[in-house]
Amino acid sequence: MSAVIAAEGLEKTFRVQGREVRAVQDVSLSVKAGEAVGIVGESGCGKTTTARLLLRLEEPTAGRITYDGQDITALRGRALLPFRARAQLVFQNPFDALNPRFTIRRALAEPLRNFGIPVAEHDARIEAVMQRVRLTPSAAWLDRHPHELSGGQLQRVVLARALIPGPKLIVADEPVSMLDVSVRAGILNLLRAARDELGLAAIYISHDLALIRYVCERTMVMYLGWIVEDGPTAELIEQPLHPYTRALVAAVPVPRVEQDRAPLPIRGALSDKPLHGVGCAFRDRCPLAFARCEAETPLLRPTTTGRRVACHLGEAA
């Protein structure tokens, strides 16, 4: 099955106060229909920027993005409209993701209007999507404004708005991190059901590895703009190949009293002056760093078991 969305050699550099910030460096990935891929990492790792690049909300400094085999990297403005209809975003903050002056109905009709769906079909599609996110009876919700809804209800509307144009790709950026715990499962279950029933490709961005495990079959770990490892989620967590992944997994607390409290296999802290130029970005914190890590940037290489890892220690790490 071919990829719904794929990226090759994506790079994004920002200029902030005279300094260059390399937010994304050499990211290549692909996602197929029905697949859920997680991108996980700590702040500044580039996961959100990667998602925005894929959705063409930012211009890449280098690299290619293809959707359904078509190169969309150079497209701008109106030319992107067919792509937009097929690739939607679920936002992190439900309280900010909807125009406060629009009613729910209007917010849902907006994508339909923009993507040229005939007005006669609008009501039916709105009704269908409200059913899907379980905000029924829809009449009770459609004429309300965002400030009248709770976080969980708002996030359902955000999901509905993303699903209404019939996309093939959904990107969810921390979709539940701002919701109360008791509400999270509801949203995640809706996302999963939508994926299963509609065969969507999904990309989940999160800092919460436990959540990613619950939701994604495949995961990519990012550190300071680089992909350091990727592969099937359970395997990646139970047998991490990259030292950073190992530290990340060890750091996640589990909801059980009996758990590993050993010191983390990592040195120092994320500095605000990331290392540029040649060499592994993780070398100043890695307990296993050696001479080659300083001299040569490790490439993301496939392993024999279908994973990829960017480390000079390779599979032996």
Q: Does 257 bind other proteins (CB under 8 A)?
A: yes
- 163-197 burial string, b = 16+ CB within 10 Å, else e? bbbbbbbbbbbbbbebbeeebbebbbebbeebbee
Q: Does 119 bind other proteins (CB under 8 A)?
A: no
Mode of pairing for the β-strands spanning 87-90 and 308-309? unpaired
Residue whose CB is less far from other proteins, 2 or 99: 99
Residue whose CB is less far from other proteins, 179 or 227: 179
* Contact pattern from residue 264 through residue 293 relative to other proteins, giving x for each residue in contact according to CB under 8 A and a dash for the rest: x-x--xxxx---------------------
Residue whose CB is less far from other proteins, 178 or 198: 178
Residue whose CB is less far from other proteins, 197 or 278: 197
Q: What is the DSSP letter of 147?
A: G
Q: State the minimum distance, in angstroms, from the CB of residue 296 to other proteins.
A: 25
Say if CB 297 and CB 280 are below 8 A apart. Answer: yes
Q: Which amino acid is at 142?
A: L
Q: State the minimum distance, in angstroms, from the CB of residue 231 to other proteins.
A: 15
Residue 66's DSSP bridge partners are 6, 71
Residue whose CB is less far from other proteins, 41 or 298: 41
Q: Does 161 bind other proteins (CB under 8 A)?
A: yes
Q: Beta strands of the chain (E only): which ranges?
A: 3-16, 19-32, 36-40, 62-67, 70-71, 87-90, 169-173, 201-206, 218-223, 226-232, 301-302, 308-309
Q: Does 185 bind other proteins (CB under 8 A)?
A: yes
Q: How far is CA 4 from the centre of its chain?
A: 15
Footprint of other proteins on this chain (CB under 8 A)? 42-43, 55, 57, 77-78, 81, 84-85, 88-89, 91-93, 96-101, 110-111, 114-115, 147, 150, 152, 158, 161, 165, 180-186, 188-189, 207-211, 213-214, 234, 237-238, 247-257, 259, 261, 263-264, 266, 269-272
